[in-house]
Structure 1
Amino acid sequence: MRILPLALILSLTACAQQPPRDDSLYQALGGQAGITRIVEGMLLNIAGDRRIVRHFEDIDIVRLRDKLVEQICAEAGGPCAYTGDSMEESHKGQQLTPSDFNALVENLQDAMDAEGTPVPAQNRLLARLAPMRGQVIER
């Protein structure tokens, strides 16, 4: 009988020792609703961007939207878990160039501007997404 209470105490202690998740960026982006609006705005911007729209012609745009929302939510410290493919797998065979990547980032920034996202929050998000550049270009 003593094992169960001890196990319970140990598990509660372990939970109590974990640092709280920093969701300040998630909150600055407007939470789930704000991130969804940013992603949808970015996709609308891409639809009108002749530089890169061709890369999005044969994809399931609803699935892409959902996975981008998950990914940004997770990267921003929100309660989401990204369930999509790796960046390498998602972009395999597309031979994306640095210019393509930069155009997408411009469309994301324009969407964040339109949403009224503060520049420091934009910079924090872009810094978290920047490491993906090498996983996307020329794959």
Structure 2
Amino acid sequence: MKQNLVRIFCYGFLVWLIPFAVAIPFYTPDGKLQTDIFLFKTTMILVGSLTGSALLVSLTGRILGKVFPVLVVTALIWLAINWGLDFLILIPMSKMNVSDYFIQIGLGYLTMLIVASAIGWAVDKKIEKG
């Protein structure tokens, strides 16, 4: 279990870091977006979803017993990590106020709960059926 917890926290950092790193080339050194806002947001949704889903699937294979509750807790940990890192790094860097942050970015992280729940539920159902 300790190994899974370390992995959950490391993966949570990657779920934040990978989309952050992908976003950097979209901006000029002075912080202006260089492309269409909708292209950027779509790219971020796709990269975040792909990263989170791949890491959840990787974690799923290491879980002994029921997967659903572990993945829900994982999603909650990742949510806290992502919000925490955004508050430490992204919000100060972008000079965005907290309400704009949650409207534009922060609430989107709730999809982690949806995807984690869906994967966990599907895996547990498959195991139950044998």
Instruction: Verify same fold: TM over 0.5.
Output: no
Tell me the TM-score normalised to structure 2 length. 0.35
Tell me the TM-score normalised to structure 1 length. 0.34
Q: Which has the larger radius of gyration?
A: 1
Higher helix share: 2
